[in-house]
Amino acid sequence: MAKLLAMILAGGAGTRLEPLTRERAKPTVPFGGRYRIIDFVLSNFANSGVYRMKVLTQYKSDSLNNHLSRTWRMTAFLGHYVEAVPAQMRTGLDWYKGSADAIYQNLNIITDEEPDYIFVFGADHVYRMDVREMLSFHVAKKAACTVAAIPVPIEQGREFGIIDVGPDGQMRQFLEKPKNPPPMPGNPKMCLASMGNYLFSTGVLVQEVVRDAADEASAHDFGKSIISELYKHAPVYVYDFAQNRVAGQEEKERGYWRDVGNIDVYYQSNMDLVEVDPIFNLYNDRWPIYTQPNNLPPAKFVFADEPNHRVGRAMDSLVSEGCIISGSGVKRSVLSPKVRVNSYSEVEDCILFENVTIGRRCRIRRAIIDKNVEIPPGMTIGYDLEEDRRRFHVTSGGVVVIPKGMKVT
C-alpha cells in the first residue's frame, strides 16, 4: 500500500469572518451546532482511511490546538495521528508567507515521514469527500499533481480560480478570476473552479516548493505560484469533485461544497442544515462527521401545559445537547451546546454559539450570537438594522453578529 500523508493548511487569518475570528482561528469557528469547520476535512480523511494528518497552524491557534488535542486522538500504536504543527520559523524569522511557503517551512515533516503521496488540503470548507477516489485518479493518470475542482455556472467563474481542462482531464491553463472563463469539457454552461485541494507525488511537491522559495517575486501561493507554473512542464490533472461518491450519500448531495469564507455564506450554509430535507445531511452514519464528545445532559423543553402559551418548542432547528428551551419558541435556528432560551422569547433564523443565554421576552431574528453572551430580558435584535448597527456588527446581507463574550446592555 502507498504511504499517504495529509498536510492541512489551517494558518490563515480568516479576516472575512470577523468578528467570529476575533479570538479564534477560522478552522475552529463552530458550525452546525456542535462541530468546528476543521472537523469536516479531518473526518473526510479519517473516513477515507488516511490516518496521518499534520495540521499547519499560525494565527490565533490556541483554540485550534486545544480542539485537536482534546478531540482528535488517533491510535498511536498503529502510527495514526492528527498533529498540530505551529509556525516554527525553521527557514528564517518569517511566518508563513503563503500556502506554498507553509509546506516549504515544514519540509522536515516530509523527510521524516517519507510518504509516496501528499494531500495538501484547506481546513475551512464544508463538504464530504472520499479522497481515495482522487488518489486512484491520480495514480491512473500518472500525474505529478492532481487538483480537485468543482463545476460552477460559467457566469460565476470570474469569482474563482478557473481551470481550462482537456478532454482527458489534463490541465491546459490556470486562470485567476477570468473575465471569460473557459467551459468544462462536455458542458458549455459550466466551468471548473479549483477547490484549493491538491494531491502531489512527493518528489514533485518538494521540488516545486523549493523552487518557489528561491523566487523572491513569488506570492508563495499554491494556486498563483505552484499550479500556475507546474502544469507547463509536468502532467497536472483535474479531478472533478462532482463525480466523487461517498458511502451513504444521496444523489442530491454529490458535489456539495461550501467555502464559508465570509459571514453571509457561513450563515446561509448553517441555515441550509435546518431545511426539512437538507442538501447536506449531517445524519449520514456511514460517513460521520467526528467532533469532541460532550458529557452534557440531553436537550430539554419546558413547559408543556401552561395556559398563557408558555411552552418550550423548537421547529425546523438543530438543538445540541445541554440546551434548555424554557417556555419559549425557536424557529429555523442552530443552537450549540448549553444554550438557554428563557420564557416568552422568540428566536428565529439564528445561530447561537455555546453557553448563550437569552433572557425573557426577547425577540431575535437573523443573528449570530457568539459564545458566552447573555442577552438581557426584553431585548429586540434583528428587527431594526439601523439600531443594530449602532451596537453590533451587521453584514451586507443583514445578519447581526454579536462577538464572543460581549456585555450586551
Binding positions are 96, 161, 176-177, 194
Are 219 and 98 contacting, i.e. CB atoms less than 8 angstroms apart? yes
Are 139 and 131 contacting, i.e. CB atoms less than 8 angstroms apart? no
How would you list the strands of the sheet with 374-375, edge to edge? 300-302, 324-326, 340-341, 357-358, 374-375
Burial 276-303 (b: 16+ CB within 10 A, else e): eebebbeebeebebebeeeeeeebebee
Q: How far is Cα 195 from Cα 125, in angstroms, rounded to an integer?
A: 9
- For residue 30, say if its preceding peptide bond is cis, omega within 30 degrees of 0: no
Instruction: State the Cα angle at 51 between 45 and 54, rounded to 5°.
Output: 85
DSSP per-residue letters across 271-328: HHTTSSS-SS-TT-TTSPPP------PPPEEE-SS-TT----EEES-EE-TT-EEES-
Which residue's entry shows cell 499533481? 145
Q: Quote the distance between the C-alpha of residue 6 and its chain's center.
A: 16
Which residue's entry shows cell 477560522? 26
Take residue 367 and report the three cell numbers written for it. 443573528
Cα-Cα-Cα-Cα torsion 174, 178, 183, 189, nearest 10 degrees, comes to 150
Are 21 and 13 contacting, i.e. CB atoms less than 8 angstroms apart? yes
Binding residues for alpha-D-glucose 1-phosphate: 96, 161, 176-177, 194
Q: How far is Cα 389 from Cα 405, in angstroms, rounded to an integer?
A: 18
